[in-house]
Amino acid sequence: MNEQTKKEIERRRTFAIISHPDAGKTTLTEKLLLYGGAIQSAGSVKGKQSDRHAVSDWMELEKQRGISVTSSVMQFEYNGYCINILDTPGHQDFSEDTYRTLMAADSAVMVIDAAKGIEPQTRKLFRVCAKRGIPIFTFINKLDHEARDPFDLLDELEREFGIGTYPMNWPISCGVTFKGVYDRRERAIHTFDNFHGGRGKIAAISCDLSDTEKLDALIGENLRRELCEQVELLDGASFDFDLDAIAHGKLSPVYFGSALNNFGVEDFLAGFLEMTAAPLARESADGTTISPFDDAFSAFVFKIQANMNKAHRDRIAFMRICSGKFERGAEYYHIQGKRPVKLSRPQQMMAQERAGIDEAFAGDIIGVFDPGVFSIGDTVCAKEKKVAFAGIPTFAPEHFAMIEQIDSMKRKQFAKGMEQIAKEGAIRIFFEPDGGFERVVVGVIGVLQYDVLKFRMKSEYGVEYLHRELPFQYIQRIADDAVQISKLDLTSDTRAVRDVMGHTYLLFTGQWSIRWAQEHNPSLVLLDFDRSGND
């Protein structure tokens, strides 16, 4: 590998931002982009103060609801680093999208509401990060509002997640009396200015805790006494700062701040970049370690999105580059398709905005045009050194509904919309074995996905439909897709369906129906809903 390519890879940092809804994740993302010069003004996520919207919330439904319902990719330059941010949905109904996105990240930033602490979705997402052993950084947000005791928050983090914490700074009160933070490494005070607004870096005021006169002038005698006691307790009882433990996800650096007011954001970004390393090595499906500095290009697909830009009406496959250098026009190899491919129209992403690129490097996220050949988890690599990455797990739907088109004149649009959204993988679309596209069964993890489907079908394909909830609770795949459904002995409330890949499934209302199918059809082999991601 030549020195220039190596340097480009070394300066890459790719991380996902995760949180429970309303913890301030998208706001923090916006402010990081603001500091990096990628945007000129941060959008109001909920649209209360202006008609601007968060750049990472690009889907029209996200702008209307004020929540993230799909992950976004944003790249920008900052202080010599090339940063790829993956902004994920916080709501549990979209957890599979978040899970896939985390597979493409080298580290994670966990945003926690200082008043609420750890919430269920944060807990689930943390476990995904912990399983991969990637570095986890914590930003405790909204200190300008009333907050829980910071020691309680740290204790909850350590107890719930089984990791150590190291506060990089410490809050000086909260809410209306919030005065700022004490930087433990610089031994300096960063005073809070509610009207700062990100106009420049907040100057650190060097001040030793023994300088009572200066401290009293800055924050008042009572808060000075409280701060000195708390810092003394931290120095004596908290975990030691350990970069190796941070790199292996065993110790989480913690920052306190207010993303909405840009307070603590730039210090967090600087500290994060200082403590994180270049892109991580990846393990292939056969257990081989693939270094990002391998000469041969390799990447995997972790997300597919149709109609990101109404003017283009195209499908974009998002790829995480794992090794080497991507070059526009070069011929690569699609492992699952077993054929050479040229990655058409390679793009750098800024939410739904895009710019054509000629090259990209390990650690980067690129978007390429997908003519319908890629699936989630697919590997693309150099022809001369073929490698396959393990597939991305998928999750069984928990809710089912029957969808029937209303206007027969729009049959083609209905079929196209259902097929394209099915191939994205987040919403499962099933067909009756001998039926067409007139009606389909939709399976989702969370019911909010029904709203997303309805909105997208109307806005992107001009189609409205009838929606009827179905009582099914379980889905099992039939091992032999050639089985004759009509010859199976099943209960009356069991339904057979097929997916866009041609696989056959049975939908059950309860465990009793599953046992009936197995006992009355000895040759029938049922599998759990595919979790390999390799289909």
Q: What is the CATH number of the domain that holds 96?
A: 3.40.50.300
**For residue 394, is pLDDT > 90?**
no
Helical axes 120-132 vs 95-103, angle rounded to 10°: 20
Q: Which CA distances in Å does 413 have to 126, 440, 449?
A: 40, 14, 20
Neighbours of 191 (CB within 10 A): 16
* Judgement on whether residues 326 and 238 belong to the same structural domain of the protein: no
Does some domain include residue 494?
yes
Residue 265 and residue 205 in one domain: yes
Provide the percentage of residues in the chain whose pLDDT is more than 90. Answer: 44
Q: Where are the beta strands (DSSP E) in 234-345?
A: 251-256, 282-283, 289-290, 298-306, 315-323, 325-327, 331-334, 339-342
Contact by Cβ (8 Å): 407, 300? no
Q: What is the pLDDT of residues 149-174, one digit of tens each?
A: 999 999 999 998 889 999 999 999 99
**Is residue 535's pLDDT more than 50?**
no
In terms of domains, do 373 and 403 share one?
no
Question: Rg of the Cα trace of the chain?
Answer: 25
pLDDT at 56: 44
Q: Looking at the structure, do residues 202 and 331 belong to the same domain, yes or no?
A: no
Same domain assignment for residues 354 and 489: no
Q: What is the pTM of this model?
A: 0.80
- The region of weakest confidence among 22-31, 58-67, 216-225 is 58-67
Task: Say whether both 94 and 219 belong to one domain.
Answer: yes
39 — pLDDT class (breaks 50, 70, 90): low
Q: Is residue 214 part of a domain?
A: yes
| Local confidence band at 201 (pLDDT 50, 70, 90 cut-offs) | low
Of 274-278, 508-512, 514-518, the least confident:
274-278
Q: What pLDDT was estimated at residue 13?
A: 95
Over residues 98-139, the pLDDT tens digits come to 777 888 999 999 999 999 998 776 777 777 777 778 899 999
Residues 431-481: pLDDT tens digits?
Answer: 887 766 678 999 988 787 888 888 888 888 899 999 999 999 999 999 988
- For 485-513, what is the mean pLDDT? 92
**22 plus 141 within the same structural domain:** yes
Query: Is residue 354 situated within a structural domain?
Result: yes
Q: Which residue, 494, 491, 490, 479, is CA-closest to 535? A: 479
- Domain residues for the domain of 191 are 16-70+87-275
Arithmetic mean of pLDDT over the chain:
83
pLDDT of res. 47? 37
320 and 253 housed in the same domain:
no
**What pLDDT does residue 49 have?**
38
The domain that contains 498 carries what CATH number? 3.30.70.3280
- Shared domain check, 294 and 260: no
CA distances from 382 to 297, 326, 336, 357, 387 (A): 5, 9, 14, 19, 8
Whether residue 163 lies inside any domain: the answer is yes
Q: Residue 305 falls within a domain, yes or no?
A: yes
* pLDDT top residue among 187 and 521: 521
pLDDT value of position 90: 47
**Is residue 157 in some structural domain?**
yes
Q: Is 394 inside any structural domain?
A: no
Q: Is residue 3 part of a domain?
A: no
- Of 332, 350, 381, the one marking the end of a domain is 381
Q: Which of 287-296, 320-329, 493-502, 524-533 has the lowest mean pLDDT?
A: 524-533
pLDDT at 202: 60
User: What was the pLDDT predicted at 519?
Assistant: 94
Does 289 lie in the same domain as 251?
Answer: no
Mean pLDDT of 325-341: 94
Instruction: Please write the tens of the pLDDT for every residue from 370-382.
Output: 888 888 889 999 9
